[in-house]
Amino acid sequence: MNYTYILRCSDGTFYTGWTNHLDERVRAHNEGRGAKYTRGRGPVELVYYECLETKEEALRREYAIKQMSRMEKIRLIEQQRREK
């Protein structure tokens, strides 16, 4: 399975990425081994994720989310929380 995810950094910013090992990737971000953007912004919190069949789908979704405004990302996160 492939995942597109959003992290909330300790400074309140969002980071969007993709992975095929979600728990390991979040742990890597929190250990300073993740993306350069999240280094120094930890701890990070997983606030949103989607499961996708292929890497290509996950990459396309990552790009689409990165194009969203901050408010659109907040709405996306809130919508998922309401559905769970």
Q: For residue 48, give the CATH number of its domain.
A: 3.40.1440.10
* pLDDT value at 84 more than 80: no
* pLDDT value at 25 more than 80: yes
Domain that holds residue 78: 2-83
The total number of structural domains that make up the chain: 1
For residues 11 and 48, give the distance between their C-alpha atoms in angstroms, rounded to a whole number.
Answer: 17
Encode pLDDT of 68-82 as tens digits: 999 999 999 999 999
Model pTM score: 0.95
Q: What SS3 state is found at 13?
A: coil
* 51 bridge partner residues: 3
Helices (H), 1-84: 22-30, 55-66, 70-83
Encode pLDDT of 28-47 as tens digits: 999 999 899 999 999 999 99
Per-residue confidence (pLDDT) for residue 8, from 0 to 100: 98
Give the mean pLDDT of 50-67: 98
Tokens of 31: 């250990």
Mean pLDDT, the chain, integer: 96
For residues 9 and 67, give the distance between their C-alpha atoms in angstroms, rounded to a whole number.
Answer: 18
